[in-house]
Amino acid sequence: MGIESEAEEQQMTEETGKLLAQFETEKSGLIPILQSVQNTFGYLPEAAMRQVADHLGMTDVQIYGVASFYNHFRFTPLGRHPVQMCMGTACHMVGGGLVLEALERSLDIQVGGITEDKEFSLDRVACVGCCGLAPVMMIGDKIYPKMTSTKVDEAMVNLKMEMEEKSD
């Protein structure tokens, strides 16, 4: 059983079935299928991976092995506020890795994970197109320029305060 509820899993099964009907059963179609599943759900749900395996005549382990080879596939849902750390060359060169580590500590999750309250997920991404502002962090659509590890906690506290204000 995955992290989805039974009703969610059933809905995913139906949607994945419709999606798979558009693809041949050739193993070479695996990557496009996985991309399509992730575009639909925002991640690769366990149940959908099993269906993909059945569709292509492969094992779950083989599917997982291929998917986990690529950084851009994720196995947990996105949080309500997806946090993305750019790890393109420009951001990497000016300390993006340290900011990413600070984010892991601050959110208490690893890259590819989601917080228990499902508010935040954390991913590393390739260049987001504003290298002059490196290192760049994004939360949802908002860009946080010239990030440092010390700015991470401040950004998270401010965001949580904004969230509380909105919920009042």
81 pairs with which residues across the strands?
A: 120
From edge to edge, which strands make up the β-sheet containing 137-139? 120-125, 81-86, 137-139, 142-144
At 59, list the tokens: 């094992």
Q: Quick check: 136 binds ligand FES (CB under 6 A)?
A: yes
- Rule CB under 6 A: choose which of 47, 88, 123, 144 binds ligand FES: 88
Nearest to 2 by CA among 35, 40, 50: 50
Question: CB 88 → ligand FES: shortest distance, Å?
Answer: 3
CA atoms within 13 A on the CB side of 165: 6
Q: Quick check: 89 binds ligand FES (CB under 6 A)?
A: yes
In the three-class reduction of DSSP (H, G, I as helix; E, B as strand; rest coil), residue 102 is classed as helix
Of 20-28, 32-40, 131-139, 150-158, the segment contacting ligand FES by CB under 6 A is 131-139
- Rule CB under 6 A: choose which of 53, 58, 66, 128 binds ligand FES: 128
139 pairs with which residues across the strands?
A: 83, 142
Window 33-52: contact mask with ligand FES (x via CB under 6 A): --------------------
Of 5-13, 86-94, 111-119, 151-159, the segment contacting ligand FES by CB under 6 A is 86-94
Q: Quick check: 100 binds ligand FES (CB under 6 A)?
A: no
* Total site size for ligand FES, rule CB under 6 A: 11
Of 29-37, 41-49, 51-59, 122-130, the segment contacting ligand FES by CB under 6 A is 122-130
Angstrom distance (rounded) from CA 42 to CA 78: 6
Angstrom distance (rounded) from CA 141 to CA 119: 15
- The site for ligand FES (CB under 6 A) is made up of 86, 88-91, 127-128, 130-131, 134, 136
